Amino acid sequence: MQSLYFSSRLQRLRNFSRDVTIVTQLCKGVLLRTDELNATQSMTSCFNMVNCAMHVNFRTIKTTLTSYAERMYTDKHEWVLIDGKMGTVGISHYAQDALGDVVYAQLPDIDTEILKKDECGALESVKAASELYSPVSGRVVEKNIAVEETPALINQSCYEKEWWDD
């Protein structure tokens, strides 16, 4: 029994060391920014575990950071389209339909630092103010001024009215 335990632990460490390589590569690029606590923490914990490993088996694995743009939805409301380091946040058709006529859009200001799940703005419709929650952490770099000035745009199709060139 004991030997089984040790061998499976060894296997886990072997697998882990493979993973560590990948994590290290990811972290390298990210660590240039000192404000990214998450990355630093995971980097530190990885190194700690590597030091404790009985077998250190660094195989170089070439990984390419494939960043593919995919729209990810939160629970029925906001979506985020991540392209590398930039995210675009919006609301879905379902959400604007549920809201009814939007009379005011309060969006987060440029340069605001937001944490994931923070309340970062509101959409007011027929006397109900619906909170906007941020699906990711980060710093706002641009906001849709057209929507702030004409909140009714939210209820119309916005495919024709692109507000920046992608």
Partner 1 sequence: MAQNLVTKLYRISVIGAARNKPYVVPSVKAVTYSTSTQQDSGAVKNSDAVKSVFISQSNDIFTNLALEDWLYKNFNFINHHILLLWRNSPAVVIGRHQNPWLEVNTSVLSEHGIEIARRNSGGGTVYHDNGNLNLTFFTPREHYNRKNNLQLINRALIREWGLKTEISPREDIVISGGYKISGTAAKLGRPNAYHHCTLLVSVDKEKLKHALHKHHKGIKTNATQSIPSPVMNLCDVNSHVTVEKLLSTIGWEYLRTCPYTAEDRGKDFIMKQRGFQFINPTDQWFPGLDKLRAELTSWDWRFGKSPKFNVTRTFQVPQELLGKEELRNEELSITIDVNKGMVEDVMLMVPPGLKAANGFSGQAQVVTSLKGQRFSEEAVTILQKALSELESPEQTRNEFVVDCVRTSILALEDEKSN
Site for partner 1 in 61-90 (CB under 8 A): 67, 71-75, 77-80, 82, 84-90
Q: Does 47 interact with partner 1 (rule: CB under 8 A)?
A: no
Whole-angstrom distance, CA of residue 1 vs CA of residue 118:
48
Nearer to partner 1, 19 or 142 (CB): 142
Quote the radius of gyration of the chain (alpha carbons, Å). Answer: 22
Site string for partner 1, 17-36 (x = CB under 8 A): ---------x---x--x-xx
Nearer to partner 1, 56 or 110 (CB): 110
CB contact set of 93 (below 8 Å; sequence gap of 6+): none
Q: Does 6 interact with partner 1 (rule: CB under 8 A)?
A: no
Q: Does 105 interact with partner 1 (rule: CB under 8 A)?
A: yes
Whole-angstrom distance, CA of residue 47 vs CA of residue 103:
52
Nearer to partner 1, 55 or 127 (CB): 127
Q: How many CB atoms lie within 10 A of CB 42?
A: 15
Give min distance, CB of 66 to partner 1, in A.
Answer: 9
Whole-angstrom distance, CA of residue 122 vs CA of residue 145:
14
